[in-house]
A = this chain, B = another copy of it.
Amino acid sequence: MKNLKLKAARAGKDLSQDDLAKAAGVSRQTISAIEKGDYNPTINLCINICKILGKTLDELFWPEE
């Protein structure tokens, strides 16, 4: 399941995957994979991404029903 909330939040800050990756200190592929939804990032990375995008864990990473 894709993470569209992350994609939207990133777009809302006008950041490319590469911009966000650099800000979060990971590779672009990692951001791409998280948005694509086929993997399971660590919570510290999620927290880092949330802080950069001004969102909370629940807003970006809590699964829909």
- A: residues with CB less than 8 A from B are 40-44, 46-47, 56-58, 61-63
Number of copies of this chain that the complex holds: 2
Q: Which residues of B contact A43 (CB under 8 A)?
A: 40-43, 46, 61
Q: Show 12 residue pairs from A and B whose CB-CB distance is below 8 angstroms, ordered by the A residue.
A: A40-B42, A40-B44, A41-B42, A42-B43, A43-B61, A47-B61, A47-B62, A47-B63, A56-B57, A56-B58, A57-B61, A58-B58
Q: Which residues of B contact A46 (CB under 8 A)?
A: 43
- What is the bound-complex CA distance between A58 and B43, given in angstroms? 11
Known: A41-B42, A42-B42. A56 touches B47 (CB 8 A): no
CB distance from A53 to the nearest CB of B (A): 14
